[in-house]
A and B are shown apart, each in its own frame.
Chain A
Amino acid sequence: GAVVSQHPSRVICKSGTSVKIECRSLDFQATTMFWYRQFPKQSLMLMATSNEGSKATYEQGVEKDKFLINHASLTLSTLTVTSAHPEDSSFYICSARHPGQNSYEQYFGPGTRLTVT
């Protein structure tokens, strides 16, 4: 149990275009999902907390108009990088909070490698 998927796994886009990344919890319902960004050989940096049915909560320094988050159902959160630029190239990973007894545990998706040319 506790499987999280992400799509796509890799995406290359041109500067100025928008890219949508999907995060799905496959075998559990997640009221809370998280979006992280990871640069090469660095740790994970939390970008935002995605809450089902309400607005996402963004971390300080993360532009909410650039990184649009939608959590329309208990199994799906999407991150849209709008007007992408080369500096947005990174590894984006989502996680989902598992409900129930161990609700403090987070399970990660496999990540999405975004390259903006």
Chain B
Amino acid sequence: GQQLNQSPQSMFIQEGEDVSMNCTSSSIFNTWLWYKQDPGEGPVLLIALYKAGELTSNGRLTAQFGITRKDSFLNISASIPSDVGIYFCAGQLRSGTYKYIFGTGTRLKVLA
């Protein structure tokens, strides 16, 4: 099935550092969702983006809906050990269907 390209694929960072990851596609999306998944668990919704150019924050997390509507970015500031996990972006291709395509995931590991 179709997937979104997410980068980086994985990253090791030191505690306290800021993290950036992005999701890109050749297709235009109407909505972007960002999720975090811990091992053996279901994904947890972090941030939802609805308009091109929109910048939304949730605590230390900030996400942006790319102006071209083909990409989205997630930033985590001052990372802490519990930020460890896999982060997925999800894009809604067509309005009204409510179906999302998921990114390939970014595996984050934080070194204390």
Contact = CB atoms under 8 A, between A and B. Distances in A.
Interface size class of chain A, counting residues whose CB lies under 8 Å from the partner chain: 20 to 34
Contacts of A109: 42
Given A43-B104, A59-B1, A97 B42 contact: no
B48 A43 contact: no
Contact of B48 (A4, A44, A49, A105): A105
A104 B48 contact: yes
A107 B99 contact: no
Contacts of A108: 35, 42-45
Nearest to A34: B99
Contact of A104 (B35, B43, B50): B50
Given A60-B1, A105-B33, A46 B42 contact: no
Interface string A97-109: 1000011111111
Given A105-B33, A108-B44, A44 B102 contact: yes
A94 to B, nearest CB: 8
Contacts of A97: 98
20 contacts: A4-B42, A32-B98, A34-B99, A43-B3, A46-B100, A49-B98, A59-B1, A60-B1, A91-B40, A93-B42, A95-B42, A104-B31, A104-B48, A104-B92, A104-B98, A106-B90, A106-B100, A107-B45, A108-B45, A109-B42
**5 tightest Cβ-Cβ pairs between the two chains A and B:** A108-B42, A44-B102, A110-B42, A104-B31, A43-B102
